[in-house]
Amino acid sequence: MENFMKKISFSPFAHSGDSVKKAMLDVIIALLPVVLASILFFRTDSVLLLVATVGSAIIFEYLSRKVLKRYNSVDDLSAVVTGLILALTLPPATPIPIAIFGSFIAIVVVKQLFGGLGNNIFNPAAAARGFLLIAFSVPLTTWTNPATAAYVDATSSATPLAIVKSIMLNIKAGDLEVAKEAYNTFISDPSHLIQLLFTGNVAGSIGETSAIAILIGLIYLVIKKRIHLEITLTYVLTSFIVSLIIGLIYGFGLLFPLISILSGGLLFGAVFMATDWVTSPNTKKGRIIFGVGLGVLTIVIRLFSNFPEGVLFSILIMNMIVPLIDRHTKNRIFGKVKKNEKK
């Protein structure tokens, strides 16, 4: 009998035509509104940071793969995505050598030494940013106002998140009246909320100041089906609820949770970092648990720790327990018989 099997192949036998490169390209496109907003607000400082982190991330990716004798993975664009996200989490005045060192931590230490894309335990950009914050706390917590007509006039300024933090510090010190006065002063000016929602003309990391730019990127990722909305929605909703409870306890208005969500890197982290495919849960139930944990940890760290921001550390903490979440939320295998069941 003639054998018509010319070639033995293995599953999958059908390919969707998708690839890591296409997925990363979509993330880059989604980041473009945030990148453009950062350049608009922070001008030269933003451009320098973006070029430094993206360029060094590509170089570190190529060199580390070469040293480890692995195939060249620069073409998959994952290093570009890591470099962009890292830059967008940095203050505009971050020294370039520190930014480049951050790319080294993200690409070489967090990503390649763990086996490359798909094997890293932590989100590379979040881990690098967290390390830089601890190692170089002064430059990583020095903020400048965005540029307007004359960028050279930019001065050091407190971020909206720092104002929220100072309110909580006054509460912890027993100065509730002072805290309420600071809160009322902040919300009395409508321009503050307008800046947080739309213009992004506030002090902060170069990619976190414009909520509208982040939301445009979110819409694109949803349309392209590149992220799971369970994480983003539960993260933001949980943060809102926890902030609302704290605000009601101390007598603040309903604007307090809104300010908490729009301040700092919460929205950026919820859209571009927490939804990382490698370091987030695989099941729908697991992603909901993941988002709830992120929301609780972020607000607790923000308001009651020594650090003004809680997004990075909450993501890193939840990254560590993703395997545990996956183990206890995995989908049921139909037809499987439990060991203690009688046949």
Residue 223, pLDDT > 70, answer yes
C-alpha distances in Å from residue 241, one per residue of 161, 185, 246, 297 = 17, 23, 9, 13
Q: Using one digit for the tens of pLDDT, what is the confidence trace for 281-299?
A: 999 999 999 999 999 999 8
The confidence score (pLDDT) of residue 198 equals: 61
Residue 129, pLDDT > 70, answer yes
Please, what is the average pLDDT of the chain? Answer: 83
Distance CA 120, CA 306 (A): 28
Locate 205 and state its tokens.
Answer: 């990391």
The confidence score (pLDDT) of residue 152 equals: 37
Distance CA 201, CA 145 (A): 8
Label residue 154 by pLDDT band (50, 70, 90). Answer: very low
pLDDT, mean of residues 73-99: 93
Q: Which SS3 state, helix, strand or coil, does residue 15 take?
A: coil
Residue 88, pLDDT > 90, answer yes
pTM of the model: 0.84
CA 332, 334, 336, 341 torsion-angle sign: positive
Distance CA 293, CA 88 (A): 24
Residue whose C-alpha is closest to residue 90's, from 120, 65, 126: 126
Amino acid at 296: V
Locate 262 and state its tokens.
Answer: 């729009």
CA 188, 193, 199, 203 torsion-angle sign: positive
pLDDT, mean of residues 96-124: 93
Q: Using one digit for the tens of pLDDT, what is the confidence trace for 263-282?
A: 778 999 999 999 998 899 99
The confidence score (pLDDT) of residue 181 equals: 76
pLDDT, mean of residues 23-51: 93
The confidence score (pLDDT) of residue 158 equals: 58
More confident residue, 256 or 227: 227
Distance CA 224, CA 188 (A): 40
Place of tokens 């993206």: 54
Distance CA 305, CA 187 (A): 24
The confidence score (pLDDT) of residue 148 equals: 46
Residue 131, pLDDT > 50, answer yes
CA–chain centroid gap for 38, Å, is 16
pLDDT, mean of residues 237-241: 94
Distance CA 114, CA 101 (A): 18
pLDDT, mean of residues 233-240: 95
Phi-psi region of 12 (alpha: psi -120 to 50; beta: other; left: phi over 0): beta
CA 206, 210, 212, 218 torsion-angle sign: positive
| 154 and 145 Cβ atoms separated by less than 8 Å | yes
Query: Quick count: other Cβ atoms within 10 Å of Cβ 226?
Result: 17
Distance CA 19, CA 58 (A): 19
The confidence score (pLDDT) of residue 149 equals: 34
Label residue 138 by pLDDT band (50, 70, 90). Answer: confident
Residue 8, pLDDT > 60, answer no
Rg over alpha carbons for the chain, rounded to the nearest Å, is 22
Q: Which SS3 state, helix, strand or coil, does residue 151 take?
A: helix
User: Where is average pLDDT lowest: 67-81, 157-171, 270-284?
Assistant: 157-171
> CB burial class (10 A; 0-12, 13-18, 19+) of residue 25?
middle
The confidence score (pLDDT) of residue 317 equals: 95
In eight-state DSSP terms, residue 199 is I
Q: Which SS3 state, helix, strand or coil, does residue 188 take?
A: coil
Residue 308, pLDDT > 50, answer yes
More confident residue, 154 or 42: 42
pLDDT, mean of residues 210-222: 92
Residue whose C-alpha is closest to residue 35's, from 273, 276, 213: 213
Q: Which SS3 state, helix, strand or coil, does residue 20 take?
A: helix
